[in-house]
Chain A
């Protein structure tokens, strides 16, 4: 009986290591990317290219083909813009690559939208058909301007995130769709979002195609080495 238990434990351990090992071993991602934005004034921004990220190099590299051929490197808190490998400009970056969706994807850790490690608290969970809806409540601090965040998931896949203000009005909605399962990790290949400001809306669609995980070789695609000072 004891030997049987040991065998079962060993089997469970092996299963755990195999499943965990898949996602732990994912270190780089590359995909075609299309970003469409409709601004509040009804103008559009359309960007198409390839995005590469390697967790070891900590650089998100956007090799853009439209509207112009140019390369953007997001490294630390800066974004460098290059044309023909020549630095054109440098500007502040909203997110360090380690906090980007690409890092979350490689960690197989986007199911809670990163709220687990924030000052928000998961205060309720409801099931509605096959959706699991979690309410994340803002910290109980006077004058905290934001309200609850609702995160819904289906089969452990993040489906949508709704951010409220303090008046319980929705200020941002994001929908994660068209998942693909590669190398043991779930990857949403389409992210839709709407932002609401003063009765107006702006829309965004991000699409990924030809997703590759752990591409071998091509290190230079993930570690773009060029000058960081304008010459």
Chain B
């Protein structure tokens, strides 16, 4: 009888934790996809992005026709093509001038990629504030993970049937 009561109480506590989390979660953020959300996805005019690069279309064309030409070559042949263009290379996922890696906030790096994200922010930006944000993200992600595990283990333990 005592064992049954204890089990029931444990299940109740686990359910309570789940529902409290769900309540806190739904009260803070809307999970529905609004009309604005759909519009932001479907109605973005990507021609804005292509238009931003209109000034480099001549260089594009030149490099397609003259494969292998370097910045130095073109500066001697047709310097006007290089107006406003940096002489240094950039790689995908390199840090932006705004102290954000890939334009993604440091907190998210820590939160999504854990210690790797933290290391990324630290190495790339060499900025203490951004590294702290990544650390916060890392800690938050770990805490959420631990809470989730505790709840799952508690629920699993209480629903296991023992036979003696």
| A interface, CB within 8 angstroms of B | 33-48, 62, 64-70, 72, 74, 77-79, 91-96, 99-101, 114-115, 118-120, 123-126, 128-129, 131, 133, 135, 137-141, 144-148, 150, 152, 160, 162-163, 165, 170-173, 175, 192-195, 197, 202-203, 205-206
User: For chain A, what secondary structure do more than half of its interface residues adopt (helix, strand, loop), or is it mixed?
Assistant: strand
With A36-B53, A140-B21 as known contacts, state yes or no: A44 contacts B95, CB within 8 Å.
no
With A62-B91, A94-B94, A124-B31 as known contacts, state yes or no: A192 contacts B46, CB within 8 Å.
yes
| B interface, CB within 8 angstroms of A | 21, 24-25, 28-29, 31-33, 37-38, 40-42, 44, 46, 48-50, 52-53, 55-56, 59-60, 63, 67-72, 84-98, 100-105, 107-108, 111-113, 116, 119-120, 122-124, 126, 133, 140-141, 143-145
| A43-B97 Cα distance, complex, nearest whole Å | 12
| A192-B95 Cα distance, complex, nearest whole Å | 17
Q: Is the CB of B90 within 8 A of A45?
A: yes
Q: Is the CB of A46 within 8 A of B144?
A: no
Q: Is the CB of A72 within 8 A of B70?
A: no
Q: Is the CB of B84 within 8 A of A42?
A: yes
Looking at the complex, which one of A67, A78, A131 makes contact with B86 (CB distance below 8 Å)?
Answer: A67
Across-interface contacts of B84 in A (CB, < 8 A): 42-44
Q: Is the CB of B41 within 8 A of A148?
A: no
Q: Is the CB of B52 within 8 A of A47?
A: no
| Chain A: minimal CB distance from B153 (Å) | 18
Q: Is the CB of A135 within 8 A of B31?
A: yes
| Chain B: minimal CB distance from A103 (Å) | 12
| A67-B87 Cα distance, complex, nearest whole Å | 6
| Chain A: minimal CB distance from B127 (Å) | 12
| A167-B133 Cα distance, complex, nearest whole Å | 18
Looking at the complex, which one of B21, B97, B120 makes contact with A94 (CB distance below 8 Å)?
Answer: B120
| Chain B: minimal CB distance from A97 (Å) | 11
Looking at the complex, which one of A68, A140, A165 makes contact with B70 (CB distance below 8 Å)?
Answer: A68
Q: Is the CB of A45 within 8 A of B107?
A: no
Looking at the complex, which one of A40, A170, A205 makes contact with B53 (CB distance below 8 Å)?
Answer: A205
| A44-B38 Cα distance, complex, nearest whole Å | 32
| A101-B25 Cα distance, complex, nearest whole Å | 31
With A95-B93, A101-B92 as known contacts, state yes or no: A202 contacts B103, CB within 8 Å.
yes
Across-interface contacts of B124 in A (CB, < 8 A): 91-94
Return the chain B residue nearest A47 by Cβ. Answer: B89
| A206-B21 Cα distance, complex, nearest whole Å | 41
Return the chain B residue nearest A162 by Cβ. Answer: B40
Across-interface contacts of A152 in B (CB, < 8 A): 41
| Chain A: minimal CB distance from B124 (Å) | 5
